[in-house]
Amino acid sequence: MKEATIALKKIILSLADALDCAHPSLVDHQLRVTYASVAIARALDLSPATIESLLYAASLHDIGLFTIREKLEGLRIEEEKQNIHHHMELGYLILREFSPFQRAAEFIRYHHVDWSYGQARGVDGEPLPLGANIIRLADRLETMIWRNRPVLLQAPSLRKAIGSKIGEKFAPEVVEAFLEISSRESFWLDLTSSRIYSVIIQLFPEAGTSIGFGHLDQLTSIFSLIIDLRSPFTATHSAGVAAVAEKLAEMFGFSPLERRLMRVAGYLHDLGKLAVSEEILNKPGPLNAEEVSVMRGHTYFTYHILETIPHLETVNQWASFHHERLDGRGYPFRLNDTNLSLGSRIMAVADVFVALCEDRPYRKSMDGKKVASILKDMAGAALDPRVVSLALENFEEINEIRRRAQEERRQAYQRIRQEVEERKAA
């Protein structure tokens, strides 16, 4: 396996697609805001570097909203301004740690702040970045569109509504650029197209930033934080799975690059849970048949989100097949021992290992004897006996690696939350 570079925009657009899976009212919201933002930036003739940062920011602008309830309230943000500064600041603090996102993080930080005739200022007294106001307009526009009515019938009233806020909420040049491009039917049809991903790629064809697997590790660690924090019971789960899977891969003789990719797969293995409601994730008891059917779709979504990203084919298999079984009775693809790689088998054991060692809504964490008993019972039919044996032979070492990884994630999240609260109080 060779090191490869991946276009960052393709990763981010795929992750934005995942954020949009959470609720029918949210479908394509991030991507629509991205399209409108990039289209306005093109009309303003902004530099490719600025447009690239704007693409990242627009694609992830609601990353500080962890729950579906928060996201739905975010769609009504003009009427309900509760917590908007909290989620902007949280998104900023999460993304600023990744160097290619530093400018995008600033855009996200101020994307709900009114232009106020050019008088609005940032936390340090600096003028608001124009990119933030572009997202402000694009976000507001997208939330005003009725999805059950033809968009071309709505276009005149939408243009009028946006135009009426020139100077007050939106920078004059941003409004003028919007009015120019929105005079064309194609703008509205692209904005609401089922092909929105491809439309954005065509609108911004520049290669942009590419990252290697080292940066991918850091990026997916950040995104796993967003996945896990939708439930207090899994707030550190992906970090634990990534660490355990990487250690097991090392014990099986995987190369350094393969071990890094195993860690990436661990961070992303529950990506599809963004499509599962918090009520199901946090239910304090066994799931009923309907809830189980919803939960069983999460690895399907993980697979199809990741398959759009080039060079991640192996990561996708390792991440997405962790609920398949050797006897073919797993889900969602009903794979069996003939088509499950060692990497996928390692991930399956890592996921069960970490889950058993965690508190869940319906039970407390299990001790070592109980964990070993369950893993042994699952070996053969569900889990690979070789992987289970290796995990149990090295139980104390692997469990300590899990504990440290999850504690580090918990502390990182607490630092972010504390900084948000301190800034709110300032």
Model confidence at 330, pLDDT cuts 50, 70, 90, reads very high
Hey, what are 336's tokens? 């069996």
Residue 363 burial (CB count, 10 A): 12
**How far is it, in rounded angstroms, from Cα 343 to Cα 347?**
6
- Kindly report, residue by residue over 242-300, the tens digit of the pLDDT: 999 999 999 999 999 999 999 999 999 999 888 888 888 888 888 899 999 999 999 99
Q: pTM for this structure?
A: 0.88
Give the residue carrying structure tokens 């602008």. 61
Distance, in Å, from the CA atom of 382 to the CA atom of 359, rounded to the nearest integer, reads 23
Q: Mean pLDDT over all residues of the chain?
A: 89
Mean pLDDT confidence for 86-114: 89
Contact call for residues 326 and 382 (beta carbons, < 8 A): yes
The pLDDT, as a whole number, for residue 394 is 97
Can you tell me the distance from the alpha carbon of 280 to that of 286, in angstroms, rounded to the nearest whole number? Answer: 10
Read off the pLDDT of each residue in 397-403 and give the average, rounded to a whole number: 97
Q: Cα–Cα distance between 372 and 168 in angstroms, integer?
A: 63
Tell me the one-letter amino acid at 120.
Answer: A
What is the rounded CA–CA span in Å between residue 244 and residue 267? 11
Q: Is the pLDDT of residue 363 over 90?
A: no
Give residue 277's pLDDT: 80
Closest by alpha carbon to 109, among 145, 172, 64?
64
Section 193-197 average pLDDT: 92
Mean pLDDT, residues 360-386 taken together: 91
* Average pLDDT, integer, range 311-318: 95
Write down the pLDDT at residue 187: 98
Query: Which one-letter amino acid corresponds to residue 72?
Result: L
Query: Which residues does residue 121 pair with via DSSP β-bridges, in sequence order?
Result: 127
Euclidean distance between CA atoms 410 and 236, whole angstroms = 6
Whether 369 has a pLDDT exceeding 90, the answer reads yes
Distance CA 181, CA 191 (A): 11
What confidence score (pLDDT) does residue 71 get? 47
Query: Which structural domains are found in the chain, ordered by start?
Result: 6-210 (1.10.3210.10), 212-416 (1.10.3210.10)
How many Cβ atoms are within 10 Å of 49's Cβ, its own excluded?
12
pLDDT at 22: 61
CA pair distance 275, 67, nearest whole angstrom: 11
SS3 state at 358: coil
Q: How far apart are CA 242 and CA 350, in angstroms?
A: 8
Model pLDDT, residue 20: 74
Query: Which residues lie closer than 8 Å to 409 by C-beta, 6 or more apart?
Result: 225, 228, 235, 236, 239, 240
Residues contacting 294, CB < 8 A, separation 6+ = 276, 277, 280
pLDDT tens digits for range 139-183: 999 999 998 999 999 999 999 999 999 999 999 999 999 999 999
